[in-house]
Structure 1
């Protein structure tokens, strides 16, 4: 006799974030969007559904001619064939996008005009197409404003107004160290790097530094940083305060 208890449902996103396998359940919850980034929760009863079953779970009519893609943790898109099984237990995908393939989307990347067959493109794909140089990143060009840094795992809706021109540029982050503006060329900074910005000289062995930060990009957004520690900074405005103590 099988005494294994089944959950009402298990959530793919929870399983991915917790680094565990899907649990036995009567349903499996995933996220589905229709041609945009407005994801809705849906349930399927089989952990290895056909692609068409994923569409049907979202209430979409197969006769409308939808294509379905899984968004992998890397940001890449994987084609989900409607009449073939897709193993939710092994593929690491929580989000799926269905769209009608009746139009192309134009964008400009490094002054080259491209046509993209989906209304959504990932940062991973943009970086792969742009091939930025050392210390460079991909940005969305904002007319009359500050260009926006594109993250590798980000998803961009090409159907939105103004989402059309992407460039590569030097990656810089403007931070404040002991009330002075400083520039770094990487999102992640180290304790030792900030100490050198605060006190740019050689230090005697009896000198000890302590550091606090706020308005960081990483969690927590504020706190203390110690030797060997790192923190992710925002494009502009992360603040560090470094104090120097001489021990006798």
Structure 2
């Protein structure tokens, strides 16, 4: 391929999402954040840059004591050594975070105080640290509000005021179906599942169900749900109304 035939750029994230290798291009685009979650597009001309070249692409001076980490698709952090090559074509990482800090960050996990050497922690790390029972998940305590479920691929900023407090608890969701409280053990519920909660048992082919919902976690937060559909519910308070019609 000649220089004229090269793409202007290829995006590492696009390649990962499309399940394809990086294409020959003049530059390769990736995401980098500086000690927070404010990721910005950066680019390098080499698909196998040194760690220091990734920093320099963001205007950072490698001599100023930066640490650089790649965030893998699993949510794990991988140390990127500044004088060693990092193959953007093979490592499965689109996002990078640079830190310039020797500070420890405090958090609690089931009332055990932990110290973490980076201002960002991933859900994968928290799940690895936690001692969980069967069917339990990790939640961020929200004083005066609803505790927030932590997803494995989520990144949590520890730099805010106060100490982030995490707990393990059964992954149950309290919903309302036709004015009656019900409990489900997964965030995503299906049309068919809600129909069974509203009208248990086998249904005659002539019976047709219609369903509306409100206060859902997913967008839109309210609407109609049809056969084969699903919606994400909140920890508490998602409401479903199901009606049954017999066709002649």
Instruction: Give the TM interval when normalised to the shorter protein.
Output: 0.7 to 0.9
Task: Provide the C-alpha distance between the structure 1 equivalents of 2:99 and 2:59, rounded to a whole number of angstroms.
Answer: 13
Task: Specify every segment of 5 or more residues in structure 2 that has no aligned partner in the other structure, as ranges.
Answer: none
2:219 maps to 1:200: no
Equivalent residues in 2 for 1:1-248 (5 A)? 2=2, 5-204=5-204, 206-218=206-218, 222-227=223-228, 229-248=229-248
Task: Provide the C-alpha distance between the structure 2 equivalents of 1:117 and 1:124, rounded to a whole number of angstroms.
Answer: 16
CA deviation after TM superposition for structure 1 residue 223, in Å: 4.4
8 Å contact from structure 2 (residues 62, 82) kept in 1: no
Give TM-score scaled by structure 1 length.
0.88
CA gap 1:138/1:61 in 2 versus in 1, 3 angstroms:
same
Cα offsets for 1:139-166 (capped at 9, x unmatched): 1122333322211111111111134221
Task: Provide the C-alpha distance between the structure 2 equivalents of 1:18 and 1:220, rounded to a whole number of angstroms.
Answer: 26
Task: Provide the C-alpha distance between the structure 1 equivalents of 2:166 and 2:56, rounded to a whole number of angstroms.
Answer: 35
Q: SS of the counterpart of 1:194?
A: helix
8 Å contact from structure 1 (residues 140, 163) kept in 2: no
What CA RMSD, in Å, does the superposition of the two structures yield over aligned residues?
2.4
Task: Provide the C-alpha distance between the structure 2 equivalents of 1:117 and 1:67, rounded to a whole number of angstroms.
Answer: 11
Task: Provide the C-alpha distance between the structure 1 equivalents of 2:70 and 2:17, rounded to a whole number of angstroms.
Answer: 17
8 Å contact from structure 1 (residues 211, 226) kept in 2: no
CA gap 1:195/1:63 in 2 versus in 1, 3 angstroms:
same
Cα offsets for 1:116-171 (capped at 9, x unmatched): 11111001110111132222211112233332221111111111113422111122
CA gap 1:223/1:23 in 2 versus in 1, 3 angstroms:
farther
Task: Specify every segment of 5 or more residues in structure 1 that has no aligned partner in the other structure, as ranges.
Answer: none
Task: Provide the C-alpha distance between the structure 2 equivalents of 1:211 and 1:247, rounded to a whole number of angstroms.
Answer: 16
Give TM-score scaled by structure 2 length.
0.88
